């Protein structure tokens, strides 16, 4: 592993988590999400990762119209930034302790085809593949993503010309992502996102990131992040291990202890770390070349 000196910065704008009441300015409406994405681009991010939220409740949504509104605003802004859409909505299973065979209220389980309907409609540069099922909370919430679903989604991404970002939350997910590559379902170079600190996946610490990176195939593009207070330490760790970085309000709400952040401020802080370590952020054109994405 060698340190990376030309680093792609991704900004994850809003996510779908229960963060609206924990921060004074979480982007909720398509306009707010697009504005935050534009500001992150201006700050130096070459990729923006987009979820949408219900404008009334603030909860995560998979409404195609909301995605279309946000994406159109970003594209119409004239900013040269790669758009990465989540395809993670629709895998929520809530288990009831008394009747575990029946999904409880709050569950949202849909097919692989339904999960990527907005990708079909909008044709982003990149869309996610969450490469496995995981206990996504400390209670009874399980995020479900099966091998059959992932193969269908990967195949359709290839047909659409959309770059898959394989999000891996644990070593088992990484094994399956490698299997997708071996089966020829992921184009070259494969794009991995090492996601650390989420319950109950791999922890956000240097040894864990190093362990996961050691099991990546050679010649891949990879990025990594940690959530909450481990966001910036994992920026440094990813750079030192030869990777790229992701920051943003999806993963961390604070610039420092007790100080709420904006997406642009988190991008700026990450770039300061990158520069202090002797690296520099990549332009969008450089990012396209690294990922094999046509202009």
Answer yes or no: is pLDDT of 1 > 90.
no
The 10s digit of each residue's pLDDT in 116-159 is 999 999 999 999 999 999 999 889 999 999 999 999 999 999 99
- Across the chain, what does the average pLDDT equal? 97
Dihedral angle computed from the Cα positions of residues 276, 282, 287 and 290, in that order, rounded to the nearest 10 degrees? -60
**Parallel, antiparallel or unpaired: strands 91-94 and 108-109:** antiparallel
For domain 6-291, say whether CATH 3.40.30.10 is its number: no
Where do the domains of the chain lie? 6-291
The 10s digit of each residue's pLDDT in 245-282 is 999 999 999 999 999 999 999 999 999 999 999 999 99
Hey, what are 43's tokens? 């700050």
pLDDT band of 98, cuts 50, 70, 90: confident
278: left (phi over 0), alpha (psi -120 to 50) or beta: left
The 10s digit of each residue's pLDDT in 31-64 is 999 999 999 999 999 999 999 999 999 999 999 9
How confident is the model at residue 194, as a pLDDT? Answer: 98
The 10s digit of each residue's pLDDT in 229-251 is 999 999 999 999 999 999 999 99
Please name the residues in contact with 51: beta carbons below 8 A apart, sequence gap of 6 or more: 13, 14, 15, 16, 33, 60, 86, 89, 250
How confident is the model at residue 108, as a pLDDT? Answer: 94
Contact 8, 223 (CB under 8 A): yes
How confident is the model at residue 32, as a pLDDT? Answer: 98
- Please tell me the distance from the alpha carbon of residue 191 to that of residue 131, in angstroms, as a whole number: 12
In terms of Cα–Cα distance, which of 217, 291, 284 is closest to 9? 284
Answer yes or no: is pLDDT of 192 > 90.
yes
How confident is the model at residue 235, as a pLDDT? Answer: 98
How confident is the model at residue 236, as a pLDDT? Answer: 98
Answer yes or no: is pLDDT of 163 > 80.
yes
How confident is the model at residue 295, as a pLDDT? Answer: 81
């Amino acid at each position: 592993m060698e340190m990376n000196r030309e680093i792609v910065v991704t900004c994850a704008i809003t996510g779908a988590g229960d963060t609206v009441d924990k921060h004074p300015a979480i982007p909720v409406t398509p306009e707010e999400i697009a504005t935050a994405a534009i500001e992150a681009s201006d700050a130096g991010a070459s990729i923006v990762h987009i979820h949408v939220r219900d404008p009334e409740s603030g909860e995560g949504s998979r409404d195609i119209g909301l995605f279309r509104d946000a994406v159109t605003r970003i594209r119409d802004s004239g900013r040269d930034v790669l758009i990465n859409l989540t395809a993670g909505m629709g895998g929520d299973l809530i288990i009831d302790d008394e009747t575990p065979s029946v999904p409880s209220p709050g569950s949202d389980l849909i097919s692989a085809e339904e999960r990527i309907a907005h990708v079909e409609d909008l044709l982003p540069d990149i869309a996610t593949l969450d490469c496995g099922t995981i206990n996504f909370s400390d209670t009874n919430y399980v995020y479900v993503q099966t091998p059959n679903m992932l193969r269908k989604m990967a195949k359709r991404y290839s047909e659409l010309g959309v770059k898959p970002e394989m999000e891996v939350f644990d070593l088992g997910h990484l094994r399956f992502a490698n299997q997708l590559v071996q089966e020829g379902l992921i184009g070259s170079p494969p794009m991995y996102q090492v996601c650390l600190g989420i319950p109950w996946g791999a922890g956000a610490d240097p040894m864990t990131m190093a362990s996961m990176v050691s099991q990546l195939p050679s010649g891949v593009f990879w990025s990594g992040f940690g959530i909450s207070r481990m966001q910036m330490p994992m920026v440094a760790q990813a750079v030192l291990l030869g990777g790229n970085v992701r920051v943003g309000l999806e993963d961390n709400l604070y610039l420092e202890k007790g100080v709420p952040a904006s997406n642009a401020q988190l991008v700026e802080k990450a770039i300061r770390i990158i520069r202090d370590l002797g690296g520099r952020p990549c332009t969008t054109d450089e990012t396209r070349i690294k990922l094999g994405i046509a202009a």
